[in-house]
Chain A
Amino acid sequence: MTQPEEIHSLAGAYVLHALEEAERETFVQHLRGCVACAAEVAELNETAARLAEDTWSVPPPAMREQVLAAVRRTRQLPPPRPVREPRRAPVRWWRHPAALTAAACLLVAALVGGVYGVQEQRLREERAATLAAQQELARTQAVLTAPDATVRTADVAGGGKVTVVAAPSRDAAVVLLATHSPGAQKAYQLWLMDGGTPRSAGVLAAGQGSATHLVDGVGAADALGVTVEPEGGSASPTLPIIAQIPMK
């Protein structure tokens, strides 16, 4: 039998499915008797699965009907028998001896180097930014996959394209802009037009020429327009409108 610490270090390779069969079995054995490992493996597995978020690809259209047809003729497994093993206590990382040692080391390093706080701060910022990005992503996906989503594309004056995926059921649209940079200190601004005064639907970052932008409250807008504005955007559109996409 391998040393516990040694085998435990396989947790990363295990959740990445990077172990050869024999080693995998040894690790699974180890996992059965190690509550702390099970908790760590659960979290690392969850983390590894997040890497799948970066792999979005539209499946072949026929696949859907094939899978649904297969489902209609496939019997499901019954629920598992309740396991008679000791109830898995939620073991948090700080209760784990190895993690505790690592944490202690970090603390020492922090006292010595004084950089720990800075890194923690950066991590918190990363996390907040990630969370916001994930929320926007979820809403964007809801628009893109809405059953009533329609796609329209228009040329941008001077080159490039703008595409709008509108989903009335979500009262939102996703705008994809793929064009050249508007120039330094200038920004593209999106406008919703419904006969009256155009409403701003968002300003891109200065100099940014390609972006995916979620627009809420599309409502009864007839069209979406794009203009070039000073950095930060304007209250009303500066003519000319360099691209206009009908929404109806």
Chain B
Amino acid sequence: MNGDEQPYQRPEHLTAVPGAPAPADAESLLRAVARGDEAAFTRLYDLVAPRVYGLARRVLRDPAQAEEVAQEALLEVWRTASRFDSARGSATAWIFTITHRRAVDRVRSEQAALDRVQRLAPEATQTPADEVVEQATAHLQRQAVRRCLRTLTELQREAITLAYYGGYTYQQVAQLLGAGLPTVKTRMRDGLIRLRDCLGVEVAA
């Protein structure tokens, strides 16, 4: 199957101003979610779910476990939306932090090891459209983060990516890299500082 068969959808508006609702930012959606707005949650889901799922999958690798963790994380976003404090960071960072924490917890739990062996990874079937979207986004998405990751030293980069994407503790990272504990924790911190400056990250405290 391919996209050729998809019927052309008649646009309702062909003006420069799109007819669709303005692309809401995660923060205003999250505030509405805190007030129990389910429609806002749906829109927030569409905005962040691919990254929430992608992050869980990157850390856990097993698609079924990633899906579980992504679901738990997204439900936690709904449940605890009132706890989000914009003075501490952006809404997306808050959501990805929840996701990453849960993914890492899963990695570290003993049960996960068993689960990984027992599961046969029922990969969800993806439509070609999904693949296209994935391909396109992946292509661009990586640019910003990767460009900045390249500005780090080898050790900074490895320490950060093994911890974040690999879900390892810094002790494990030190072992993997054959480096001392103080070195690794220092490299994680100064690497992130460099990354912060390259990406221009600011927190409006």
Residues of A within 8 A of B (CB): 9-13, 15-20, 39, 42-64, 66-68, 70-72, 74-80, 88-91, 123, 126-127, 129-131, 133-134, 136-138, 140-142, 144-154, 163, 165, 168-171, 174, 176, 211-212, 217, 219-220, 246-248
Q: Is the CB of B78 within 8 A of A10?
A: no
Residues of B with C-beta under 8 A to A75:
79
A206–chain B nearest beta-carbon distance, Å = 19
Q: Is the CB of A42 within 8 A of B203?
A: yes
| Residue among B54, B132, B146, B160 making CB contact with A16, cutoff 8 Å | B160
Q: Is the CB of A56 within 8 A of B130?
A: no
B180 at interface by CB-CB < 8 Å: no
Q: Is the CB of A42 within 8 A of B140?
A: no
Q: Is the CB of A13 within 8 A of B188?
A: yes
Q: Is the CB of A42 within 8 A of B6?
A: no
- 19 A-B contact pairs sorted by A residue (CB < 8 Å): A10-B189, A12-B186, A12-B188, A13-B185, A18-B170, A44-B193, A49-B89, A49-B90, A53-B145, A54-B145, A56-B51, A58-B53, A80-B82, A80-B83, A137-B137, A137-B143, A151-B2, A153-B132, A168-B9
Residues of A with C-beta under 8 A to B23:
138, 142
| Residue among B87, B93, B185 making CB contact with A88, cutoff 8 Å | B87
B34 at interface by CB-CB < 8 Å: yes
Q: Is the CB of A78 within 8 A of B196?
A: no
B110 at interface by CB-CB < 8 Å: no
B186–chain A nearest beta-carbon distance, Å = 6
Q: Which residue of B lies closest to A72 (CB)?
A: B38
Number of A-B contacts (CB under 8 A): 317
Q: Is the CB of A46 within 8 A of B201?
A: yes
B65 at interface by CB-CB < 8 Å: no
Q: Is the CB of A63 within 8 A of B67?
A: yes
A170 to B11, CA, bound (A): 9
Q: Is the CB of B192 within 8 A of A12?
A: yes
Q: Is the CB of A47 within 8 A of B199?
A: yes
B154 at interface by CB-CB < 8 Å: no
Q: Which of A59, A76, A152 has the most CB of B within 10 A?
A: A59
Q: Is the CB of A127 within 8 A of B198?
A: yes
Given A77-B80, A152-B6, A176-B136, also A50-B75 (CB < 8 A): no
Residues of B with C-beta under 8 A to A64:
45, 49
Q: Which residue of B lies closest to A75 (CB)?
A: B79
Residues of B with C-beta under 8 A to A150:
3, 6-9
Q: Is the CB of A9 within 8 A of B186?
A: yes
Residues 118 to 142 of chain B near chain A (Cβ within 8 Å): 124, 126, 128-142
Q: Is the CB of B100 within 8 A of A17?
A: yes
A64 to B13, CA, bound (A): 28
Q: Which residue of B lies closest to A16 (CB)?
A: B163
Q: Which residue of A lies closest to B189 (CB)?
A: A12
Given A77-B83, A147-B20, A176-B132, also A58-B50 (CB < 8 A): yes
A77 to B81, CA, bound (A): 8
> Apart from A44-B192, A57-B50, A57-B58, what are 17 other A-B pairs with CB-CB below 8 Å?
A9-B189, A12-B186, A17-B104, A45-B88, A46-B93, A46-B201, A49-B96, A51-B161, A60-B63, A67-B71, A74-B78, A79-B82, A140-B140, A144-B136, A146-B20, A151-B128, A212-B140
Q: Which residue of B lies closest to A214 (CB)?
A: B140
A13–chain B nearest beta-carbon distance, Å = 4
Q: Which residue of A lies closest to B46 (CB)?
A: A145
| Residue among B151, B163, B192 making CB contact with A47, cutoff 8 Å | B192
Q: Is the CB of B182 within 8 A of A47?
A: no
Digit string of B81-103 for contact with A (CB within 8 Å is 1, else 0)?
11100011110111011011100
Residues of B with C-beta under 8 A to A10:
185, 189
Q: Is the CB of A70 within 8 A of B75?
A: yes
B195 at interface by CB-CB < 8 Å: yes
